Amino acid sequence: MITPRYGNPRSSTLSTARTLCGMNRPRRLLRAVAPVATAAIFLLVSGCGSTPLPGSSDSGGAQASGAGRPGTGPTTEAERARDDALIAKLPPGLGAPAKKELAQQILATAENSTLDWRGQYDYIEDLGDGNGYTAGIVGFCTGTHDLLTLVERYTKSHPDNGLARYLPALREVDGSDSHEGLDPGFTTAWAKEAQKAAFRKAQDTERDRIYFDPAVRLAKLDGLGTLGQFIYYDAMVLHGPGTGPRGFYGLRETAMAEADIPSQGGTEKTYLDVFLGLHRKAMKHEDPERDTSRIDTTQRRFLDDGNLDLKTPLRWEMYGETFRVQ
């Protein structure tokens, strides 16, 4: 999950207002901070203890069913097969290459104030949010386990990579904001490794495994179209795949208690309106002054326009700046 960077910290053209927004970056306390086990992913959420992620499996994605089991996944192979068969009959939605590209562009405007999401592979800095270094295309963090998992997986297939020697330190600082054992060379090593196609691919793979694929899968099972799938993805990235009240699965369960999901007879626009309200409330929890452009002038604008398929051309505002995709 990413802490929004309200304005690209590497840009010297930011307005004063957006720079001030950057001083109020939210703390990402709802991300996964417990180790990812081989056969299941576990999440430590705001003191709630170690909780299995919904639908965790060897493949790493949350295979949650939309069939009335909020926050849970298939309990049998038959249920999973049924879900797979249902998804196979549905339109590709956000999984279509052009829509997935669009999703990364919209997300990048929220995270780096740019449409150029591919320019973020080498990004790395400490945002002062308590999560250590934030890096890469979805803000993998040294303090929230996903960066460690990325480097461990990458090292298995590329043992001589330039980040491998930092694995002992990454394991030590996991769950904290410490730089011990990482400074002064880790940031340089990250940026250098990001020049390699293999490491860029590894970032893509881990993004999909932890965030994109589980979010899109569950949104489809919930009966949501392309916009709803993006809304789930954005919330998964921002809040983390947690079952606590402000983790993604917790937000979904609360939303389902207030409005039926489309696959259970609910109206898509009504349900997404409720979900976005909870998403926004969770963003404001840590900082009431937090900028919520990613919802107010982006996702909600698309919803109010009735653009449930995320059809282009699109126009939205993020932190006072206008973005367009033709």
Q: Are 259 and 274 in contact (CB under 8 A)?
A: yes
Identify the three-state secondary structure at position 294: helix
**C-alpha dist (Å) from residue 307 to 83, 221, 228, 299, 302:** 26, 20, 10, 10, 5
Q: Is 129 among the catalytic positions?
A: yes
Cα(165)–Cα(74) distance, integer angstroms: 39
Closest CA to 3 of 274, 287, 217, 201: 287
Q: Which of 111, 126, 146, 268 is catalytic?
A: 111
Q: Which of 83, 126, 129, 234 is catalytic?
A: 129
- Two tokens, residue 63: 């295979």
Q: Are 227 and 310 in contact (CB under 8 A)?
A: yes
The answer for residues whose C-beta is within 8 angstroms of residue 157's C-beta and 6 or more apart is: 198, 202
Q: Is 289 among the catalytic positions?
A: no
Closest CA to 241 of 63, 83, 69, 118: 63
Q: Are 123 and 135 in contact (CB under 8 A)?
A: yes
- Two tokens, residue 181: 């054992």
Cα(297)–Cα(223) distance, integer angstroms: 24
User: What is the H or E stretch that residue 43 is in?
Assistant: strand 42-44
Would you please indicate which residues are annotated as catalytic (active-site) residues? 111, 129
